[in-house]
Amino acid sequence: MTSAQKKAQAAVEYNAFLAVCPSRQLLDRISDKWVVLILCALGGDDSGETASTNAPRAMRYSELSRLLGGVSQKMLTQTLRSLERDGMLTRTVTPTVPVTVTYELTDLGLSLHDMTRGLRSWAQTHMSEVLAHRETYDARTT
């Protein structure tokens, strides 16, 4: 590879506005409420009662299943597998009886968690405001 070719390759940029760009598919994958909530859970955002509990941690499948209200076993399993495949979390099997399976964010997962924590927090913080806008909109259009 010539120096010019190397330079050209380094300059390749992904652009999620383009339908054919691989980053569009990745954006679609991470724009998913279960992805957001799993990352928030493993990032330690649950409860939020005391800031001291908000640290990343390993969680068992059953813990995740309990924390994420309404998630089906199929959806949780599929989402965890795709996050493992993408390098966002590790899955560790400990040979207890029965076996213990734990999930933990990688550095890559932690970097995405910065964004998903913000999304969940935004939804919770602005819920009342959004509800008020909906009322106004519905009153105006009906």
Instruction: Classify strands 100-105 and 89-94 as parallel, antiparallel or unpaired.
Output: antiparallel
The Cα 141–Cα 58 span in angstroms is 48
Task: Give 4 or 139: the residue with its C-beta nearer to a copy of itself.
Answer: 139
In this complex, which beta carbon is closest to a copy of itself, that of residue 22 or of residue 58? 22
- Site residues (CB under 8 A) for a copy of itself? 13-20, 22-24, 26-28, 30-33, 35-37, 40-41, 46, 48, 67-70, 84-87, 108, 111-112, 114-115, 118-120, 122-127, 129-134, 136-138
CB of 54 to a copy of itself, least distance (A): 13
Task: Report the C-alpha gap between 141 and 91 in whole angstroms.
Answer: 50
Q: Minimum CB separation from a copy of itself for residue 86, in Å?
A: 5
Specify the DSSP element, H or E, that contains 50: none
The distance of closest approach from Cβ of residue 68 to a copy of itself in the complex, given in angstroms and rounded to an integer, is 6
> Which phi-psi region, left, alpha or beta, contains residue 58 (left: φ > 0; alpha: ψ -120 to 50)?
beta
